[in-house]
């Protein structure tokens, strides 16, 4: 039983906050600057930045600074991490592993064709 640190810890932790989930939702529509992303929130910018850092550190987004503007983009692969875990769990209680295998294969095919 994996007791040591897992990437899943951070991946799920990131989703446990409504601000961060909202940011991911917004980024699903396309890249955005820090200012744009922060606008809807009644929160000081440094506080908001902590969420951005968290999302970046846990692999949910990538950011890049051009001039004085930092642009954030969604890292879609993180969703696969979760879907894989979900499929794994379901396969446990369905008492079979074929579903998981089929799922992982599907993901792999999608990425190969990107």
Partner DNA sequence: GTGTAACTTAGCCAAATGGCTCAGTATTTC
Partner DNA sequence: GAAATACTGAGCCATTTGGCTAAGTTACAC
Q: Give the residues lining the site for DNA (CB under 7 A).
A: 13, 16-17, 19, 33-36, 42-47, 49-51, 54, 65-70
Quick one: which of 65, 114, 29 has its CA closest to 52?
A: 65
Give dist(CA 46, CA 48) in Å, integer.
5
Spell out, one character per residue from 54 to 93, where the chain touches a copy of itself: x when CB under 8 A holds, - when not: --------------------x-x--x--xx-xx--xx-xx
| Phi, psi (deg, nearest 5) at residue 2 | -65, 105
For a copy of itself, the binding residues in 13-42 under the rule CB under 8 A are: 13, 15-19, 21-22, 24-25, 28-29, 40-42
């Amino acid at each position: 039983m994996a007791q040591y640190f897992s990437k899943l810890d951070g991946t799920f932790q990131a989703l446990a906050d409504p601000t961060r989930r909202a940011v991911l939702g917004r980024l699903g529509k396309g890249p955005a600057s820090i200012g744009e992303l922060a606008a809807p929130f009644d929160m000081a910018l440094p506080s908001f930045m902590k969420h951005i850092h968290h999302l970046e550190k846990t692999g949910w987004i990538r950011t890049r600074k051009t001039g004085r503007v930092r642009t954030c983009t969604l890292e879609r692969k993180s969703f696969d991490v979760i879907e894989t875990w979900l499929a794994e769990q379901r396969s446990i209680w369905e008492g079979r592993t074929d579903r998981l295998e089929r799922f992982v294969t599907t993901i792999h095919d999608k990425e190969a064709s990107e």
